[in-house]
Structure 1
Amino acid sequence: MAARGHDDRLNLSAGVASVSVALLLIAAKLWALFQTGALSVAATLADSALDLAMSLGALAAIAYAARPADDDHAFGHSAAEDLAALGQCLFILASAALIGGAGAQRLAHPAEMVPTQQGAGIAVMGLSIALTLALVGWQRHVARATGNRVVAADSLHYIGDLVPALGAIGALWASRRYGLNWIDPVVAIGAALLMAGGALKIGRGAWDALMDRAVDDDMVAGIETIARDFPKVRGHHDLRTRRSGSRVFVNLHVELDGGQSLHEAHAIGAALKRAILARYPHADVIIHKDPV
């Protein structure tokens, strides 16, 4: 439970950081829009507004999933993470399609590929990249530590903003120095493909969790090894696993000496559960004890 509480705090911190960065970028881009009147700044402002909507939805899902189990949700609320991740993935796929389509259109009409930039716009672009880099770094750390798909999907969405921004700076430099105007749409298409691939991967994981698919074979084998080698456990069977959000539910039957006391059998089961949790701290383990 302590590990679960720590994970919830990490996930919530990532959600709050995402909303805060989106708010800061909206404020900065509003200022830049008033200063420059540039349509390109207006477009990035609209993108940041979408980021804020996505981040608010992700934060709500993380907060709801962190709620403890109750009478109506005996296994907790972590499935909300998978539902939110699916929604985010659909949004990312739509964004990738729009970005890729715009890049293809610009490649087909090279006369429209004349980039322009002003000082205020460049400053805001630099601020956007710096804040996004910091946010994505923290989100990746949290996603690795907790396995939260909502945080991973939100991170992917911000990477979708980061990659084109970095590519745009390189494309602008190449355009000014060498007249290579085609680099900008190529970067956009590459970013769209990266976003789509990542979205499909996260979406598949969320779908598998909602369909109660078993966890990966390595984790199943690891649990079986712990049970097989555990002292006084004569055997095991009916190992069942499923994932919900960042939590893994494990049900396991172990075979014990039927002549020992209930207290002794309970102590063996409790120790085995602690051993499994020590290796897989995100698991929720139920052990049923059968006589040999």
Structure 2
Amino acid sequence: MSDHAFLTRSAAVASIGTAVFLLVLKGWAAWTTGSTAMLGSLADTALDLVASLATLLGVWIAAQPADDKHRFGHGKAEAIAALFQIVLISISAIGIASRAIEQFFTASRVQGAEGGIVVSAIAIVVTLALVGWQRHVIRRTGSLAIHTDSVHYQSDLLLNVAVIVALALELYAGFKGADALFGLLIAGWLAWGAWGASQAVLDQLMDHEWPAEKKQRFLEVLAQNPDITGVHDLRTRTSGNKDFVQFHVWVDARMTVREAHKVMDAIEDRLHAVFPDLEILIHPDPEGLVDEVGPAGKDILPPIRVTLD
């Protein structure tokens, strides 16, 4: 098993274990207090468990090597798992908001708030430990599925703080409706988090181009090869933890096929030194030849060659 696969799998398993523990704890608290905010936290944790199972499946599939039917690998399984989580988060937000609105009209009160406060405090400590490990894994792997899972658990930290505040206001300040109000705020926070996480997922599923800074760095490295005089029709995308790029380069028209092949190998070696997991497809053209029209036919090789340290 690769280091990437081991780390992502360990983060997914840790997430599942955390969700199971918190599900039992919050189930008891929601039952004894009748709190909408706690019920929202419980529903969120239940969805955490389902989402974490989907994450584990997603990172397992994404770690499988390329095969005859998936020549570009299985990296998008992570994005699909992340999209599944986003759908669950959205459903959770709608359910919590509906319950909070209902509580406003029925004016129900929270019972046994002290126990709910203790449970939420324990949940904060456990979740902090999990998020710390997830951040370590994300730094090492760049996993989209683990990142989306971590975003959800980070929102759980605020969610648990909100539950404590809501219960404390009901219990100690006599603020009627605080629980329902915070239930609505929690629902809004979950919906906002789902919207934010969806952007990165959709970018990957739609083969969005790399960020401008990354593309510029790529071109600066590419410009170090003295045997090419131009680059056009650059296309980039990311799938899971793997990047893909294809482009056309201008070379001396008098080069033999063997010489051009050596130049392409040298370009790949230079790029892999900076972008080790990059899959590269290069199309050599005689200098000045452009078959593409529009922006794709424009030479984008930096005019000033940057010397790498």
- Match for residue 12 of structure 1? 9
Query: What is the aligned-residue identity percentage?
Result: 37
**Equivalent-residue separation in structure 2 for 1:136 and 1:108 (angstroms):** 37
Gaps of 5+ in 1: none
- Match for residue 60 of structure 1? 57
1:117 equivalent in alignment to 2:113:
yes
Query: What are the within-5 Å matches in structure 2 for residues 143-292 of structure 1?
Result: 143-260=138-255, 265-292=260-287
**Equivalent-residue separation in structure 1 for 2:196 and 2:276 (angstroms):** 24
Over 3 Å counting, the alpha-carbon distance change for 1:80 and 1:161 in structure 2 is: same
The code of the aligned residue for 1:239 comes to: L
Gaps of 5+ in 2: 288-309
**Equivalent-residue separation in structure 1 for 2:25 and 2:118 (angstroms):** 10
- Match for residue 304 of structure 2? none
| Contact 1:62 1:150 survives alignment (8 Å) | yes
Q: TM-score, normalised by structure 1?
A: 0.81
- Match for residue 130 of structure 2? 135
1:72 equivalent in alignment to 2:69:
yes
Deviation digits for residues 18-63 of structure 1, max 9, x if unmatched? 1121233345557x57xx9626599566654432222111101110
- Match for residue 32 of structure 2? 38
Over 3 Å counting, the alpha-carbon distance change for 1:255 and 1:115 in structure 2 is: farther
- Match for residue 306 of structure 2? none
The code of the aligned residue for 2:148 comes to: A
1:115 Cα deviation after fit: 4.9
- Match for residue 295 of structure 2? none
Deviation digits for residues 161-191 of structure 1, max 9, x if unmatched? 3322111112222333322344433333333
Return the structure number with greater helix share: 1
- Match for residue 87 of structure 2? 90
Over 3 Å counting, the alpha-carbon distance change for 1:40 and 1:134 in structure 2 is: farther
Deviation digits for residues 39-94 of structure 1, max 9, x if unmatched? 65995666544322221111011100110101111100111112222111111111
**Equivalent-residue separation in structure 1 for 2:269 and 2:104 (angstroms):** 59
| SS of structure 1 residue aligned to 2:223 | helix
| SS of structure 1 residue aligned to 2:113 | coil
Provide the aligned length of Structure 1 versus Structure 2: 284
The code of the aligned residue for 2:242 comes to: R
Higher mean alpha-carbon deviation, 60-69 vs 97-106, is at 97-106
| SS of structure 2 residue aligned to 1:240 | strand
1:213 Cα deviation after fit: 3.0
Structure possessing the higher radius of gyration over alpha carbons = 2
| Contact 1:160 1:195 survives alignment (8 Å) | yes
Q: TM-score, normalised by structure 2?
A: 0.77
**Equivalent-residue separation in structure 1 for 2:111 and 2:216 (angstroms):** 55
